[in-house]
Protein backbone atom coordinates (compact mmCIF):
# COMPACT_ATOMS: atom_id res chain seq x y z
CA UNK A 1 0.00 0.00 0.00
CA UNK A 2 2.89 2.34 0.86
CA UNK A 3 4.42 1.67 -2.54
CA UNK A 4 1.19 2.51 -4.38
CA UNK A 5 0.85 5.72 -2.36
CA UNK A 6 4.45 6.66 -3.12
CA UNK A 7 4.00 6.01 -6.83
CA UNK A 8 0.76 8.00 -6.93
CA UNK A 9 2.48 10.91 -5.20
CA UNK A 10 5.33 10.62 -7.71
CA UNK A 11 2.79 10.80 -10.52
CA UNK A 12 1.29 13.93 -8.95
CA UNK A 13 4.75 15.43 -8.62
CA UNK A 14 5.51 14.54 -12.23
CA UNK A 15 2.38 16.24 -13.47
CA UNK A 16 3.07 19.41 -11.46
CA UNK A 17 6.73 19.87 -12.40
CA UNK A 18 7.62 22.35 -15.12
CA UNK A 19 10.40 20.50 -16.87
CA UNK A 20 13.71 22.24 -17.50
CA UNK A 21 16.73 20.53 -19.01
CA UNK A 22 16.37 16.80 -19.70
CA UNK A 23 13.37 15.43 -17.83
CA UNK A 24 13.53 11.77 -17.06
CA UNK A 25 12.67 8.90 -14.85
CA UNK A 26 14.82 6.26 -13.13
CA UNK A 27 13.54 2.85 -12.09
CA UNK A 28 15.34 0.96 -9.33
CA UNK A 29 14.38 -2.66 -9.92
CA UNK A 30 14.31 -5.38 -7.27
CA UNK A 31 17.08 -7.18 -9.18
CA UNK A 32 19.37 -4.24 -8.28
CA UNK A 33 19.34 -2.90 -11.83
CA UNK A 34 19.00 0.87 -12.20
CA UNK A 35 17.41 1.99 -15.49
CA UNK A 36 17.15 5.67 -16.48
CA UNK A 37 15.36 7.31 -19.37
CA UNK A 38 15.75 10.90 -20.56
CA UNK A 39 12.92 12.47 -22.53
CA UNK A 40 12.61 15.54 -24.72
CA UNK A 41 9.00 15.90 -23.58
CA UNK A 42 7.26 15.43 -20.26
CA UNK A 43 6.78 11.69 -19.59
CA UNK A 44 3.56 10.24 -18.15
CA UNK A 45 3.75 7.34 -15.69
CA UNK A 46 0.73 5.03 -15.54
CA UNK A 47 0.18 2.52 -12.75
CA UNK A 48 -2.06 -0.52 -13.03
CA UNK A 49 -2.44 -3.60 -10.83
CA UNK A 50 0.30 -5.45 -12.68
CA UNK A 51 2.59 -2.90 -14.38
CA UNK A 52 4.15 0.55 -14.46
CA UNK A 53 4.48 2.16 -17.86
CA UNK A 54 6.08 5.35 -19.12
CA UNK A 55 4.62 7.13 -22.13
CA UNK A 56 5.70 10.22 -24.02
CA UNK A 57 3.27 12.07 -26.28
CA UNK A 58 0.78 9.22 -25.92
CA UNK A 59 3.22 6.52 -27.06
CA UNK A 60 4.25 3.89 -24.52
CA UNK A 61 8.07 3.80 -24.29
CA UNK A 62 8.72 1.25 -21.55
CA UNK A 63 6.87 -0.84 -19.01
CA UNK A 64 7.86 -3.00 -16.06
CA UNK A 65 5.96 -5.49 -13.96
CA UNK A 66 4.75 -3.65 -10.86
CA UNK A 67 6.26 -6.35 -8.63
CA UNK A 68 9.74 -5.85 -10.20
CA UNK A 69 9.96 -2.13 -9.39
CA UNK A 70 11.38 -1.13 -6.05
CA UNK A 71 11.49 2.68 -6.48
CA UNK A 72 10.82 5.37 -9.07
CA UNK A 73 12.85 8.60 -9.20
CA UNK A 74 11.90 11.65 -11.22
CA UNK A 75 14.51 14.18 -12.24
CA UNK A 76 14.95 17.29 -14.33
CA UNK A 77 18.47 16.28 -15.28
CA UNK A 78 18.77 12.65 -16.40
CA UNK A 79 21.90 12.00 -18.44
CA UNK A 80 21.15 10.30 -21.73
CA UNK A 81 24.60 8.71 -21.95
CA UNK A 82 25.09 10.09 -25.42
CA UNK A 83 27.67 12.83 -25.70
CA UNK A 84 27.38 15.21 -28.61
CA UNK A 85 29.98 14.69 -31.31
CA UNK A 86 32.20 17.69 -31.81
CA UNK A 87 34.02 17.66 -35.13
CA UNK A 88 37.41 19.29 -35.39
CA UNK A 89 36.80 22.17 -37.84
CA UNK A 90 40.13 21.43 -39.56
CA UNK A 91 38.86 17.92 -40.40
CA UNK A 92 35.66 18.94 -42.19
CA UNK A 93 37.19 18.83 -45.68
CA UNK A 94 39.11 15.57 -45.33
CA UNK A 95 38.23 12.98 -47.99
CA UNK A 96 39.31 9.36 -48.28
CA UNK A 97 39.59 7.60 -51.65
CA UNK A 98 40.33 3.89 -52.02
CA UNK A 99 41.42 2.55 -55.39
CA UNK A 100 43.63 -0.39 -56.47
CA UNK A 101 45.04 -0.98 -52.99
CA UNK A 102 46.04 2.65 -52.47
CA UNK A 103 44.41 4.97 -49.95
CA UNK A 104 44.46 8.64 -50.89
CA UNK A 105 43.61 11.21 -48.24
CA UNK A 106 43.02 14.86 -49.15
CA UNK A 107 42.37 17.89 -46.95
CA UNK A 108 44.65 17.00 -44.05
CA UNK A 109 46.67 19.53 -42.11
CA UNK A 110 50.33 19.70 -43.22
CA UNK A 111 52.43 16.96 -41.52
CA UNK A 112 49.31 15.40 -39.92
CA UNK A 113 49.82 11.78 -38.88
CA UNK A 114 47.55 9.07 -40.30
CA UNK A 115 47.62 5.57 -38.83
CA UNK A 116 46.10 2.32 -40.09
CA UNK A 117 45.09 -0.31 -37.54
CA UNK A 118 44.02 -3.91 -38.02
CA UNK A 119 40.94 -5.20 -36.23
CA UNK A 120 43.26 -6.65 -33.59
CA UNK A 121 44.24 -3.06 -32.70
CA UNK A 122 47.82 -3.38 -33.96
CA UNK A 123 49.36 -0.63 -36.05
CA UNK A 124 49.65 -1.87 -39.66
CA UNK A 125 50.70 1.31 -41.51
CA UNK A 126 51.31 4.96 -40.81
CA UNK A 127 52.12 8.04 -42.80
CA UNK A 128 52.40 11.78 -42.62
CA UNK A 129 50.59 14.31 -44.80
CA UNK A 130 52.62 16.39 -47.21
CA UNK A 131 52.72 20.18 -47.02
CA UNK A 132 49.67 20.38 -49.34
CA UNK A 133 47.61 18.15 -46.98
CA UNK A 134 47.65 15.01 -49.15
CA UNK A 135 48.75 11.49 -48.31
CA UNK A 136 48.96 8.21 -50.22
CA UNK A 137 49.35 4.85 -48.48
CA UNK A 138 49.85 1.61 -50.37
CA UNK A 139 48.31 -1.45 -48.76
CA UNK A 140 50.31 -3.90 -50.90
CA UNK A 141 52.66 -4.79 -48.04
CA UNK A 142 49.98 -5.81 -45.52
CA UNK A 143 47.60 -8.80 -45.49
CA UNK A 144 44.09 -8.58 -46.90
CA UNK A 145 41.44 -7.71 -44.36
CA UNK A 146 39.48 -4.95 -42.64
CA UNK A 147 41.37 -1.89 -41.40
CA UNK A 148 40.57 1.30 -39.56
CA UNK A 149 42.32 4.47 -40.73
CA UNK A 150 42.58 7.21 -38.11
CA UNK A 151 43.78 10.76 -38.62
CA UNK A 152 45.60 12.72 -35.95
CA UNK A 153 42.58 15.05 -35.91
CA UNK A 154 40.29 12.17 -34.86
CA UNK A 155 38.57 11.11 -38.10
CA UNK A 156 38.18 7.39 -38.68
CA UNK A 157 37.56 5.48 -41.89
CA UNK A 158 36.98 1.75 -42.20
CA UNK A 159 38.04 -0.09 -45.34
CA UNK A 160 38.34 -3.61 -46.68
CA UNK A 161 41.63 -4.47 -48.38
CA UNK A 162 40.61 -7.22 -50.85
Running DSSP on this structure, what letter comes out for residue 41? S
3-class SS of residue 101: coil
The residue among 58 and 151 whose pLDDT is bigger is: 151
Running DSSP on this structure, what letter comes out for residue 17? -
Q: pLDDT (tens digit, 9 = 90+) per residue, 23-54?
A: 677 778 888 887 777 776 777 778 877 888 87
Mean pLDDT of the chain: 78
Cα separations in angstroms, 50 against 30, 35, 46, 64, 94: 15, 19, 11, 9, 55
Q: Quote the pLDDT of residue 162.
A: 84
Lowest mean pLDDT among 41-55, 121-135, 146-160: 41-55
User: Which alpha helices (DSSP H) does 57-126 contain, by range?
Assistant: none
Amino acid sequence: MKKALWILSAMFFLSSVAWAGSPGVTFLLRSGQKVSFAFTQKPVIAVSNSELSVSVAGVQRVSYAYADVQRVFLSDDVASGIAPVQADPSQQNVTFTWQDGVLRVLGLNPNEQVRVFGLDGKLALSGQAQADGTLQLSFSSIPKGVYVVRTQGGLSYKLFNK
